[in-house]
Amino acid sequence: MGGNSPCASCKLLRRRCAKDCIFAPYFPSDDPHKFAIVHKVFGASNVSKMLQELPIHQRADAVSSLVYEANARVRDPVYGCVGAISYLQNQVSQLQMQLAVAQAEILCIQMQQEPALPTHQIDSDDKSLLLHSNLNNLPQYLNFASTSNVIQDPLKRESLWT
């Protein structure tokens, strides 16, 4: 960025914006808030180290996710992103229960229609409906006690990637 206007990071940090400035491609001068918030939460030198450890083609996505996390933490200084994770995990659990109920309902209906059939003769297609949901074996991302009090107000489903 040499003789041209410095990027948002170098402007905020009040330093010369080098041609090979690591921040320049991702923090243009027309969006100073983006770098300000990332700097506030993570610190410029930490962000610089994180980006340097990544191949160039992954840095844009890394910056987007850092901006998202930083925004979440500023909006909610206690739970940050974890609030959204907790809310979504609850939704997944509820859907799991609803699926189980619906699957049991189908089984009941089928057994009512063909009561003479022993259970092992249930059609294999029907078996595929039974608990072959993608929700089985869902990893539990949060397992510390303090998340039991996570607020239910989720982060907005805004677009993550600018």
Partner 1 sequence: MSNSTRCAACKSLRRRCPQDCTLAPYFPSTNPQRFACVHKIFGASNITKMLQQLPVHQRAVAADCISFEASSRVRDPVYGCVGIITQLHQLILVAQRELAEIQGQVALYGAQQGQEQKRMAQSQVHQYNGPIWFTTSQQDPPHLD
The distance in angstroms from the start CA to the end CA of the chain is: 22
By the rule CB under 8 A, 116 interacts with partner 1: no
Nearest to 106 by CA among 78, 80, 125, 82: 125
Query: With respect to partner 1, which residue has the nearer C-beta, 14 or 132?
Result: 132
Question: Who contacts 148 (Cβ-Cβ below 8 Å, separation ≥6)?
Answer: none
By the rule CB under 8 A, 46 interacts with partner 1: yes
Query: With respect to partner 1, which residue has the nearer C-beta, 2 or 131?
Result: 131
By the rule CB under 8 A, 2 interacts with partner 1: no
Instruction: Name the one range near partner 1 by CB under 8 A: 4-12, 18-26, 27-35, 48-56.
Output: 48-56
By the rule CB under 8 A, 160 interacts with partner 1: yes
By the rule CB under 8 A, 98 interacts with partner 1: yes
Query: With respect to partner 1, which residue has the nearer C-beta, 29 or 100?
Result: 100
Nearest to 82 by CA among 127, 14, 142: 142
> Which amino acid appears at position 78 of this protein?
V
Q: State the alpha helices, DSSP H only, in the chain.
A: 8-13, 32-41, 44-52, 59-75, 82-113, 124-129
Nearest to 53 by CA among 22, 99, 31, 81: 22
**Exposed, middle or buried, 115 (CB in 10 Å: 0-12/13-18/19+)?**
exposed
Least distance from C-beta 46 to partner 1, angstroms? Answer: 5
Least distance from C-beta 145 to partner 1, angstroms? Answer: 8
How far apart CA 130 and CA 139 sit, in angstroms, is 20
By the rule CB under 8 A, 133 interacts with partner 1: yes
Q: Which residues bind partner 1 (CB under 8 A)?
A: 41-43, 45-46, 50, 53-54, 58, 61-62, 65-66, 68-69, 73, 77-82, 84-85, 88-89, 91-92, 95-96, 98-99, 102-103, 105-106, 109-110, 112-113, 129, 133-135, 138, 141-142, 144, 146-147, 149, 157, 160
